[in-house]
Amino acid sequence: MFKVNDYVVYGNAGVCKIETIGPMAIGAADKDYYTLQPVYQKGSHIFTPVDNVKVVMRPILSKEESNQLIDEIEDIDTIEITDEKAKDEIFKEKLKNCDCRECVSVIKTLYQRIVKREEQGKKATSSDERFLHQAQESLYGELAFSLNIEKNEVEQFITDRIESIHA
């Protein structure tokens, strides 16, 4: 169980701070709830049962784990899409797990798809753009928090770190 003031990743909400744990003022008093404050959505709150198993809730990566993930990005495989009709379900399932390695895999796959379409003179599909944005928000939000940098600096941080590995 998490504690008050812990930071966690909660589903698509991303990094959240646990503000309180206990029964809600309204509703079932026999059940404890986490009150979460999303870090990147000021003013909003999420209430979720402590025993919730439907939405992934996990500790955020440490700074060391984040740097290790970045160091391994080039080795993370893309997703092989054999059925275009099923691709959205595949991406949705990968992102639902809130796993950073899966986010990297989705980002790499979608980036390659978008570049390929642009080379063919086509625009990226709206679903590809939507899933790319969702994966980037999830991954970059967590990395920014754990590395103590701004979210808009994460992509350049990753690029610089990968380039330094090859230098």
DSSP assignment of 104-134? HHHHHHHHHHHHHHHHTT-PPPHHHHHHHHH
> Which pLDDT score, from 0 to 100, does residue 54 have?
92
User: CA distances (Å), 62 to each of 39, 72, 141, 152, in order?
Assistant: 16, 15, 13, 19
pTM: 0.91
Mean pLDDT computed over every residue of the chain: 93
Q: What is the pLDDT of residue 29?
A: 65
Residue for token pair 């402590």: 50
Q: Which amino acid is at 153?
A: E
